[in-house]
C-alpha cells in the first residue's frame, strides 16, 4: 500500500509556491502543449490558485488533466502527473533507484511505521522485500490464508449476515468487511484472532479501535501544511500529537506482547510472527516495524476494494447472475454442493469473478495515487523533463479512466474486457497499476484476490445485497474508502 498520497495533498501547495517564488516569468496561457502538457503559472505564486481550487478533489482533477495531454503526462512544476504506461515503467522499474520514497514522507510516518517496508528505502527496503517475498511465495502461506478466510467466513460472516437478513437490520457493509479483514490480517501476521467481527473480545476491540485511531492521527499529521506544526506539537506533547503518542504506545504494547509471547513459546506456525521470530538475529523492534506495516497493508485495501465492488454490483444484476452461474457450474464439476466455501482450486477457476473484481479495482483502486521523489534530473520516455527533487506521480485512478489505455468505453464497468474465450487475460502492471509495478509491486496481490473472491462468492451465492442509501463518493484516508460507509439490507437466497 502506498502512503505518500497523504503527505502530498497537504504539501502540494507549498511545493508549488516555494518553487515558483524563484521563477519570475511573464503570464502565459494555462495550457501550453509541448511533448507533454505544461500548466504555466503566474509570477511568484505559480500554480498555487489551481492547487487551492482543487485541493479537495485532487483525484478528479488529475483525471481531468491527463486527457489534455497527447502523451498522458502533465507538468505542474515541480510536480509531474502521468498516466503513460511507458513513463510508469520508467519510474517503477527502469530507473527505479532514482525515484525513492520522499524523505519528508518517511519522517512524517516514522513514528507509526518505524523502519517497516512501507516507508523503507535502499538496502533496508531490499532486505525486507527479499525476506517477505520468500514468505509470500510459499504454498503453506497460501493454504494458511485460505484456512483463516474460510473459518472467518463460515463461523462469523455468514451467521452475521443471516441474522441481519432475518431481523431486517441495515448493516454497514464497509464496517463489516473492515472487521473481517482485521481479524484475518491479525491471524496471518500475529497468529492471534482479535474476534472483531463477532465482537467477542474486549482486548481485540481495544486493539482494533486504537489501531484505527493511530492510523487516522498519522493521517492528520501528514495533512499538516507545515511539518513544523506537528513537530512542535510532538515536542510539547499536546493535542493530536499527544493522542497519537498514547495510541502508538498501546499499539506497540500489543505487538510487543505478541512478539515476547512467541519468543517464549518457541513454537512454529503459519503466521508471519512465527516465521520472523524464528530468526533470532532480528531485534524485537525491527520485527514490530515489519509486522505493523503488514497489518496496515492488509487492514484497509481489501475491504475498501470489496466495498466498491458490492456497490458497483448493486446496479449490475446481469453481472451478479453471471457470477452465480459460474459458481454453480464449478460446484457441479467438483460435486461439492454442500460445502459453504469454495476450495483454492475452485476459486482459481472462477475467471469471470476474477474479471469482475479486476474491473471494479480498475475504476475504484484502493490506493488511487502513487508518488516518488526524483533524486536527480531525468527525462521520461515521452520526453517530459523531471528536475532534481521534483515529485512524479502516476495515478491508478486516472489510468483506469484513460481512453488511450482502455478504449472509448473506459468509463463503463465491463468485466468482459478481461475475458478471451471465457478465460481471464491479465494485462501489463504498467497500464493496470492497482497493485503497483516493478520491484515494489504488491507482494500480497495473489492473497488479496483469494480473499476477495472467497468473500464475494460466499456472499453472492447465499444472499441478495440491497444498497439502501445513495452512495458513491470517496473519502481519502489511508485508502480510498467510501464516504459514509455502505448501508445494505440482506436477504437469504434459496440455493
Which residues are known binding-site members? Answer: 442
Domain ranges of the chain: 4-492
Instruction: Give pTM, 2 decimals.
Output: 0.89
- Whether 80 and 86 have beta carbons less than 8 Å apart is answered as no
- Which position has the higher pLDDT, 103 or 173? 173
Q: What is the pLDDT of residues 246-300, one digit of tens each?
A: 999 999 999 998 888 877 665 556 677 877 766 666 788 888 888 998 898 888 8
> Which H helix or E strand runs over 255?
helix 239-265
Residue 64 forms beta bridges with which residues?
none
Rounded to whole angstroms, the Cα distance separating 459 from 490 reads 10
* 116-129 residues labelled b (16+ CB within 10 A) or e (exposed): bbbbbeeeebeebe
DSSP characters for 330-363?
A: HHHHHT-TT-SS--HHHHHH-HHHHHHHHHHHHH
- DSSP symbol at 495: -
Whole-number percent of the chain with pLDDT over 90: 54
As a whole number, mean pLDDT of residues 398-424 equals 94
Would you list the DSSP string of 18-51?
HHHTT-------SEEESSSEEE--BTTTBTHHHH
- What is the structure's pLDDT at 269? 62
**Is residue 192 scored above 70 in pLDDT?**
yes
Cα first-last separation, the chain:
37
Task: Using alpha carbons only, give the angle 136, 294, 351 rounded to the nearest 5 degrees.
Answer: 50
Poorest-pLDDT segment among 123-127, 210-214, 221-225, 468-472: 221-225
Task: Pick the range with the lowest mean pLDDT from 203-207, 313-317, 335-339, 378-382.
Answer: 335-339
Which pLDDT band holds residue 329 (cuts at 50, 70, 90)? very high
Task: Report which secondary-structure segment, H or E, holds 490.
Answer: strand 487-492
pLDDT score of 17: 40
Q: How high is the mean pLDDT of the chain?
A: 86
Separation CA 118–CA 224 (nearest Å):
21
In the prediction, which pLDDT does 26 show? 34
Residue ranges at the known binding site for heme: 442
C-alpha–C-alpha distance, residues 296 and 188, integer Å: 12
Coil, strand, or helix at residue 2?
coil
d(CA 417, CA 388) in angstroms, rounded, equals 39
Grid cell for residue 70: 497527447
Output the pLDDT for position 222: 81
Closest by CA to 254, choosing from 294, 291, 220, is 291
Strand-pair partners of 37:
33, 74
Place of cell 495473489: 446
Strands (E), 128-276: 170-172
| CA–CA dist 348, 492 (Å, integer) | 26
The closest alpha carbon to 254, from 304, 195, 207, belongs to 207
Distance CA 284, CA 273 (A): 10
pLDDT of residue 278: 67
Q: Residue 18's pLDDT is what?
A: 42
Distance between CA atoms of residues 182 and 19, nearest Å: 42
CA 243 to each of CA 108, 216, 232: distance values in angstroms, whole numbers, following the listed order? 16, 11, 14
So what's the architecture of 4-492 in CATH? Answer: Orthogonal Bundle (1.10)
Provide the 10 A C-beta neighbour count for residue 45.
14
Indicate the pLDDT class of residue 41, thresholds 50, 70 and 90: low
Q: Would you tell me how many other CB atoms lie within 10 Å of the CB of residue 466? A: 12
Residue in this structure with the C-alpha cell 474491473, named with its chain if needed = 359
Q: How many CA atoms lie within 13 A of 52 on its CB side?
A: 6
Amino acid at each position: 500500500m502506498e502512503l505518500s498520497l497523504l503527505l502530498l495533498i497537504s504539501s502540494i501547495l507549498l511545493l508549488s509556491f516555494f518553487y515558483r517564488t524563484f521563477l519570475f516569468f511573464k503570464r502565459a496561457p494555462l495550457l501550453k502543449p509541448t511533448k507533454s502538457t505544461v500548466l504555466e503559472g503566474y509570477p511568484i505564486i505559480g500554480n498555487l490558485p489551481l492547487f487551492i481550487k482543487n485541493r479537495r478533489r485532487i483525484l478528479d482533477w488529475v483525471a481531468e488533466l491527463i486527457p489534455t495531454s497527447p502523451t498522458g503526462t502533465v507538468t505542474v512544476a515541480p510536480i509531474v502527473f502521468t498516466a503513460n504506461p511507458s513513463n510508469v515503467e520508467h519510474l517503477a522499474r527502469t530507473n527505479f533507484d532514482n525515484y525513492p520514497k520522499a524523505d519528508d514522507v518517511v519522517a512524517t510516518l516514522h513514528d507509526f511505521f518505524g523502519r517497516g517496508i512501507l516507508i523503507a528505502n535502499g538496502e533496508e527496503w531490499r532486505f525486507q522485500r527479499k525476506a517477505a517475498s520468500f514468505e509470500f511465495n510459499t504454498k503453506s502461506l497460501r493454504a494458511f490464508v485460505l484456512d483463516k478466510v474460510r473459518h472467518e467466513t463460515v463461523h462469523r460472516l455468514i451467521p452475521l449476515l443471516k441474522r441481519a437478513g432475518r431481523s431486517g437490520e441495515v448493516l454497514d457493509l464497509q464496517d463489516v468487511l473492515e472487521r473481517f479483514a482485521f481479524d484475518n490480517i491479525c491471524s496471518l501476521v500475529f497468529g492471534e484472532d482479535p474476534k472483531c467481527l463477532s465482537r467477542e473480545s474486549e482486548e481485540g476491540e481495544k486493539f482494533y479501535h486504537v489501531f484505527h485511531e493511530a492510523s487516522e492521527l498519522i493521517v492528520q499529521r501528514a495533512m499538516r501544511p507545515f511539518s513544523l506544526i506537528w513537530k512542535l506539537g510532538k515536542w510539547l506533547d499536546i493535542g493530536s500529537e499527544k493522542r497519537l503518542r498514547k495510541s502508538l504506545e498501546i499499539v506497540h504494547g500489543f505487538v510487543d506482547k505478541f512478539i515476547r509471547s512467541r519468543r517464549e513459546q518457541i513454537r512454529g506456525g503459519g503466521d508471519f510472527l512465527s516465521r520472523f521470530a524464528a530468526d533470532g538475529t532480528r531485534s524485537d523492534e525491527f520485527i514490530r516495524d515489519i509486522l505493523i506495516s503488514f497489518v496496515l497493508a492488509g487492514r484497509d485495501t481489501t475491504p475498501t476494494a470489496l466495498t466498491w465492488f458490492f456497490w458497483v454490483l448493486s446496479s449490475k444484476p446481469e453481472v451478479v447472475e453471471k457470477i452465480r452461474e459460474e459458481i454453480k457450474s464449478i460446484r457441479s464439476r467438483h460435486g461439492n454442493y454442500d460445502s459453504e466455501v469454495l476450495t483454492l482450486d475452485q476459486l482459481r477457476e472462477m475467471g469471470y469473478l476474477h474479471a469482475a473484481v479486476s474491473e471494479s479495482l480498475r475504476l475504484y483502486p484502493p490506493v488511487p495515487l502513487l508518488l516518488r521523489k526524483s533524486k536527480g534530473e531525468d527525462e521520461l520516455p515521452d520526453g517530459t523533463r523531471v528536475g532534481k527533487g521534483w515529485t512524479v506521480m502516476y495515478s491508478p485512478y486516472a489510468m483506469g479512466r484513460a481512453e488511450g489505455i482502455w478504449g472509448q468505453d473506459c468509463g463503463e464497468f465491463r468485466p468482459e474486457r478481461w475475458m478471451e474465450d471465457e478465460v481471464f487475460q491479465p494485462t501489463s502492471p504498467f497500464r493496470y497499476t492497482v497493485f503497483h509495478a516493478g520491484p515494489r509491486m504488491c507482494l500480497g496481490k495473489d492473497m488479496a484476490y483469494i480473499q476477495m473472491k472467497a468473500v464475494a462468492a460466499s456472499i453472492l451465492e447465499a444472499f441478495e445485497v440491497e444498497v439502501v442509501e445513495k452512495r458513491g463518493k470517496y473519502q481519502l484516508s489511508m485508502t480510498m474508502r467510501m464516504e459514509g460507509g455502505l448501508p445494505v439490507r440482506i436477504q437469504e437466497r434459496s440455493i
